[in-house]
Structure 1
Amino acid sequence: MNKIKVLLVDDEIEMLNSIEKILSKRGDLKVQAENDPEKAIKLIERQKFNLIITDLKMGNISGMDVLKKAMLHSPEAKVIIISGYGTIEAGVEATKLGAFDFIEKPFTSKKLYDKIDLAIKEFDALPAETVSDNSIDEQTGIVSKSNQMKEIISLVNKVSQGNMTVLITGESGTGKELIARAIHKLSSRSVNPFVPVNCGALPESLFESELFGHEKGAFTGAVRTKPGLLEFANEGTFFFDEIGDMSPALQVKLLRMLEERKIRRVGGEREISIDVRIIAATNQDIENMVKEKKFREDLYFRLNMMKIEIPPLRERPDDIIPLAKYFLREVCAQHDGKKKIFSERAEELLRSYSWPGNARELQNLVSRASYLCTSTTIDSPDIPIPGVKDLSTLDNSILEMPFKDAKNKIIENFEVAYLTHYLKKNEGNVSKTAEECGIDRRHLHRLINNYNIVYED
């Protein structure tokens, strides 16, 4: 039998050592003890535990924080809360929020063993596949079942070990920043800052000052010297989101920084050496932008030392349900702590949709469904997909089709109705519609052409 993997958390060293000594006498437990609650939370994010035993009162980070993090990252783990005098009510509240049990100080070895044995009995009663969630990669925290994402995770592990620049491409909502953060998290730079910036979010004049910093008196309002974000990220990782939106002038300065590893603040003459790893991302066809002279070819080659392409969610349907379950656990942990699940009909409905807004759209929909559903089971009528609410509402002709044909027809009907509505609302403005719907502009153009959508009033 495999040993039960236990995480023990207590900020009091003497208590931690005492409990660890008690647990070490059992041969069926593999114990990892941590007296820093913040480090314990990072362990929960990276590793899977069967049992988590945590003190309740621990300064800035409490046992309740550990519980919430466990519910998110190790939902099948049993959490036992250690409560002291005056915190029994909080211990009871913790069990209501999802903790397996609580134990009051002071306690005997036998009492602790009894609690652990009860937890182990529940493990034995569970189907093998539910004891741990294999869809979450332990190292990166990325949810994946599809072969495409497993290949990306493998690539993330490889590129994280070096300092080469990385270019991440994919439609809006596919998780480009998540991949960038995973690379940073696994790298030797992880103890230093990860600084993200959206290249299209600020006007050029302000963006340059934010990026490179400015000297006092450099422009009206520059009343003091201000270091830029690149300096703040020194020895860490800098993430340029939507790099395709960067102005030509800033592209030149970024290229110089990549070549010389030096920057100059706005209004300054002194060159400042910096050591940052650059990761860039875009939802645009950047190779085509290079051909059309909209993006510098030399900068593209500098950024594209390693390329990671994230496929849209519709091309990796195996990830839909694992992602939905992950998002549901997340929103439940952040809301009231009460666990919810999807019914089979709800999962079928989620799989039948093409998710033009990708994982971000799925996350938003799951959040709405969780808040709107008063039951512990989310059913298909609770899923707020416009135009497709419940299989019982489908036309008989669709129900008579083979599964794949019926699924494609449902998707087609929804996409035509949904996109027509928003295109009319935005008076045919494709860019505005794409932004409002969370859809990549090129993908929206393809849908309009494929379905022959007419959207004039």
Structure 2
Amino acid sequence: MKNILLIDDEQDMLDSLHKLLSRNSEYKISMEQDAQKALDRVGKTKYDLIITDLKMKNVSGMEILRKALGTFPDSIVIVISGYGTIDTSVEAMREGAFDFIEKPFTSKKLYEIIEHAFSQNYKKTEKLEDSSKGKDAFSGIVYQSEQIEDLIRVVKRISPGNMNVLVTGESGTGKELFARAIHSLSKRNLNPFVPVNCGALPENLFESELFGHERGAFTGAIKTKPGLLEFANHGTFFLDEIGDLSLAMQIKLLRMLEERKIRRVGGQQEIDIDVRIIAATNKDLNKAVHDKQFREDLYYRLNAMEIKILPLRERPDDIIPLAKNFLTEHCCQNDQSMVRLSSDAEKALKNYTWPGNVRELQNIISRAFYLCSNSIIQKADLPISKEKENAIFDDDIINLSYKNAKENLMEKFEVEYLTHHIKRNNGNISRTAELCGLDRRSIHRLINKYNIIYEE
């Protein structure tokens, strides 16, 4: 039984969170609306998880966080932030919060963060000795092949330096795992590792997210907001999918790399930045440079050292160790006795070409785990075929019935579309409905359908 404390000065928010979490019979939930009383409680009682609002009357979520971690250093604290408080939420993570979740959010998102928090067995520790630190840095990388062994030796050699690193490889090969390993083994490992996906942010927001903005810099900039580069100062900044960065933003990034200074959008003052850049891409940047789609000077700035991760089909010795590791994780998470692969199933996995690499293997093992009828996964339980190489949709969708696949895709669209616009309009449902071309009743129907929690 996990003891969870919910803290918020708004009863409606407490009731919404309690309703969502009470579905899990393994959670014993306590609620506190009085922030001062909550502060006293976290100083006297050890909870498995504390979920607190950031902005409350009299006592802030930051004070709750500091008190909990000051009394019980291994406490798990998740901070809920409202609109326009991302910079403070980032500060909360710097202070020791496990994670923060920004309104609006779905019940699915909340459960994912909680599950991740418990599975990580999160606790703060003193700096590890070099030997144990090196082992821990690669704990998420499962392998048996000589190719990955050679790559790890290279990573160990280059990590202590400050050179920028370019990690290349197909999607799903584990580029971010190696980026995090480099950071863990570097002299910057006590400072933040900050990842950003260059392809996920629209260009008009990218500059503001990276460099920050001053109050009044543009419509909606109601307060000064530090950028992600400032948060990463003295640490490591990971630019995923760097090949998707526009030429305009490439110029700005190049200037930062050359001068080690940034200027917030709408600002005049230059801010010194000391970060190590690790970039990753699944594209051929040499070709992109030749085609004038990527700046040559930026390419050489980023590519002081290249780490190339081979696709899974070129390191078949890693397939079965990875598959067994994923099975072990599922057994532990579901409190189930061990499930193993039959020899035919192992042979089928080895013979498959894995266009989606490790990510695809993880998905297939997950589905086979839940679909197999006993403790042995047979070849027939593995949803792999030659047709999968030409699949248009994700593996978890393409094999569903037409109706279920359509519903799955529609759910993803509706959740992402609605949360984006609710956030954009600061929780104003009338304004959201107007801009989306829907009526308020339709908006509320979708909110209830997907258990979206927001703050108006």
TM range (shorter): 0.5 to 0.7
With over 3 angstroms needed to count, the CA separation of the structure-2 counterparts of 1:338 and 1:232, relative to structure 1, is farther
- The yes-or-no answer on 1:346 pairing with 2:311 is no
- The yes-or-no answer on 1:276 pairing with 2:283 is no
Residue matched to 1:160: 159
Distance 1:338 1:37 in 2: 29
Report SS of the residue matched to 1:307.
strand
Residue matched to 1:94: none
Report SS of the residue matched to 2:207.
helix
Distance 1:326 1:212 in 2: 39
Distance 2:172 2:390 in 1: 21
User: Which deviations, in whole Å up to 9, do the C-alpha atoms of 1:4-27 show, x marking residues without a partner?
Assistant: xxxxxxxxxxxxxxxxxxxxxxxx
TM-score by length of 1: 0.56
Distance 1:421 1:247 in 2: 28
With over 3 angstroms needed to count, the CA separation of the structure-2 counterparts of 1:169 and 1:319, relative to structure 1, is same
Residue matched to 1:245: 244
Residue matched to 1:360: 359
Report SS of the residue matched to 2:166.
strand
Distance 2:224 2:118 in 1: 43
Alignment of structure 1 residues 49-448 onto 2, 5 Å: 139-141=137-139, 142-386=141-385, 414=386, 417-419=387-389, 422=392
Report SS of the residue matched to 1:195.
strand
With over 3 angstroms needed to count, the CA separation of the structure-2 counterparts of 1:289 and 1:188, relative to structure 1, is same
Q: Contact 1:170/1:283 (CA < 8 Å) preserved in 2?
A: yes
User: Which deviations, in whole Å up to 9, do the C-alpha atoms of 1:206-236 show, x marking residues without a partner?
Assistant: 0111111000000000000000111111111
With over 3 angstroms needed to count, the CA separation of the structure-2 counterparts of 1:336 and 1:349, relative to structure 1, is same
With over 3 angstroms needed to count, the CA separation of the structure-2 counterparts of 1:158 and 1:65, relative to structure 1, is same
User: Which deviations, in whole Å up to 9, do the C-alpha atoms of 1:354-374 show, x marking residues without a partner?
Assistant: 100000100111111112224
Report SS of the residue matched to 1:326.
helix
Distance 1:169 1:65 in 2: 27
Q: Contact 2:213/2:264 (CA < 8 Å) preserved in 1?
A: yes
Distance 1:299 1:156 in 2: 22
With over 3 angstroms needed to count, the CA separation of the structure-2 counterparts of 1:145 and 1:231, relative to structure 1, is same
User: CA shift at 1:333, angstroms?
Assistant: 2.3
Residue matched to 1:23: none
C-alpha RMSD of the superposition: 3.0
Distance 1:324 1:371 in 2: 14
Report SS of the residue matched to 2:251.
helix
User: CA shift at 1:335, angstroms?
Assistant: 2.9
Distance 1:367 1:312 in 2: 20
With over 3 angstroms needed to count, the CA separation of the structure-2 counterparts of 1:186 and 1:328, relative to structure 1, is same
* Paired residue type of 1:179: F
* Paired residue type of 2:191: N
Distance 1:358 1:262 in 2: 38
User: CA shift at 1:344, angstroms?
Assistant: 1.6
Residue matched to 1:45: none
Show structure 1 runs of 4+ deviating over 4 A: 35-38, 64-70, 136-139, 419-423
With over 3 angstroms needed to count, the CA separation of the structure-2 counterparts of 1:268 and 1:192, relative to structure 1, is same
Q: Contact 1:241/1:281 (CA < 8 Å) preserved in 2?
A: yes
Q: Contact 1:343/1:378 (CA < 8 Å) preserved in 2?
A: yes
Report SS of the residue matched to 1:287.
helix
Q: Contact 1:234/1:275 (CA < 8 Å) preserved in 2?
A: yes
5+ long unaligned stretches in structure 2: 1-71, 76-97, 99-114, 122-133, 399-408, 410-456
User: CA shift at 1:318, angstroms?
Assistant: 0.5
With over 3 angstroms needed to count, the CA separation of the structure-2 counterparts of 1:384 and 1:418, relative to structure 1, is closer
* Paired residue type of 1:383: L
User: Which deviations, in whole Å up to 9, do the C-alpha atoms of 1:369-402 show, x marking residues without a partner?
Assistant: 112224222221211113xxxxxxxxxxxxxxxx
User: CA shift at 1:65, angstroms?
Assistant: 11
User: CA shift at 1:240, angstroms?
Assistant: 0.3
Distance 1:356 1:138 in 2: 29
Residue matched to 1:432: none
Q: Contact 2:137/2:180 (CA < 8 Å) preserved in 1?
A: no
With over 3 angstroms needed to count, the CA separation of the structure-2 counterparts of 1:137 and 1:357, relative to structure 1, is farther
Rg larger for = 1
Distance 2:304 2:117 in 1: 39
User: CA shift at 1:287, angstroms?
Assistant: 0.6
* Paired residue type of 2:142: V
* Paired residue type of 2:237: F
Q: Contact 1:137/1:144 (CA < 8 Å) preserved in 2?
A: no
Q: Contact 1:137/1:143 (CA < 8 Å) preserved in 2?
A: no
Report SS of the residue matched to 1:173.
coil
With over 3 angstroms needed to count, the CA separation of the structure-2 counterparts of 1:289 and 1:370, relative to structure 1, is same
Distance 1:300 1:151 in 2: 25
With over 3 angstroms needed to count, the CA separation of the structure-2 counterparts of 1:237 and 1:337, relative to structure 1, is farther
Distance 2:299 2:217 in 1: 30
* Paired residue type of 2:148: M
Q: Contact 1:37/1:66 (CA < 8 Å) preserved in 2?
A: no
Distance 2:294 2:391 in 1: 34
Q: Contact 1:240/1:278 (CA < 8 Å) preserved in 2?
A: yes
Q: Contact 1:214/1:266 (CA < 8 Å) preserved in 2?
A: yes
User: Which deviations, in whole Å up to 9, do the C-alpha atoms of 1:164-201 show, x marking residues without a partner?
Assistant: 10001111111111110111111121222111111011
Distance 2:339 2:302 in 1: 43
Residue matched to 2:21: none
5+ long unaligned stretches in structure 1: 1-34, 39-59, 71-135, 387-413, 427-435, 437-457
Q: Contact 2:312/2:318 (CA < 8 Å) preserved in 1?
A: yes
Q: Contact 1:324/1:362 (CA < 8 Å) preserved in 2?
A: yes
Report SS of the residue matched to 2:370.
helix
* Paired residue type of 2:352: Y
Q: Contact 1:68/1:337 (CA < 8 Å) preserved in 2?
A: no
With over 3 angstroms needed to count, the CA separation of the structure-2 counterparts of 1:66 and 1:210, relative to structure 1, is closer
Distance 1:137 1:177 in 2: 17
Residue matched to 2:50: none
Percent of aligned pairs with the same amino acid? 61
* Paired residue type of 1:166: V
Distance 1:243 1:342 in 2: 38
Q: Contact 1:140/1:186 (CA < 8 Å) preserved in 2?
A: no
With over 3 angstroms needed to count, the CA separation of the structure-2 counterparts of 1:260 and 1:367, relative to structure 1, is same
User: CA shift at 1:331, angstroms?
Assistant: 2.4
